[in-house]
Amino acid sequence: MEVKLKKKLISEKAIQKRIKELGKEITNDYEGKDLLILCILKGSIIFTADLVRNIKVPLTVDYLSAKNTRHNSLPDYLKDRDILIVEDIIDSGTTLEKIVKSISKKEPASLKICTLLYKKECVKNGIIPDYAGFYIGKEFVVGYGLDYNEQMRELPYIAIPEV
């Protein structure tokens, strides 16, 4: 089933410009620290790849499925690490809240959140990212890792689909 786009919301150029800015901010904040990036699968993989290329401090990257946090299968090496969760979008914040609680139990040195998109109006639990690429409204979006039925992740921009 082919999905049509209603409109482009954020251009590829704007995304790449903002990622460079986020990379500089994160670099400054983590200077001299042992940074561990936790990419939340699946949607964040493209954002994470571009972001880490713009962070100029030593770092490691690991991947986390929201399902992993439900089964307490988080690795022990999170203890005493400076962790940056990288998320594609914060909508209601419910899933991210569970992830943060699970990671916090592992006693990291610090825990911050970076998201490409933040739907401030939709957040139900007060989750506020430390780094946000773009603030958007309530619209459903696809592209740059975000999907509609596993389609449209490959788009290099953010768009509103006709669904």
Domain range enclosing 27: 15-136
Q: Has residue 122 been placed in a domain?
A: yes
Annotated active-site residue 50? The verdict is no
CATH number for the domain that contains residue 116? 3.40.50.2020
Q: Has residue 125 been placed in a domain?
A: yes
The per-residue pLDDT for 72 is 57
Q: CA nearest 19: which of 112, 133, 128, 145?
A: 133
Residues of the chain below pLDDT 50: 71
Which residue of the set 50, 82, 88, 91 is catalytic? 91
Residue labelled with tokens 């594609």: 88
The per-residue pLDDT for 124 is 82
Q: Quick check: bond before 42 cis, omega within 30?
A: yes
CB neighbours of 123 closer than 8 A, spacing ≥ 6?
90, 91, 92, 93
0.85 exceeded by pTM: yes
Torsion, CA 108, CA 26, CA 146, CA 13, rounded to 10: 180
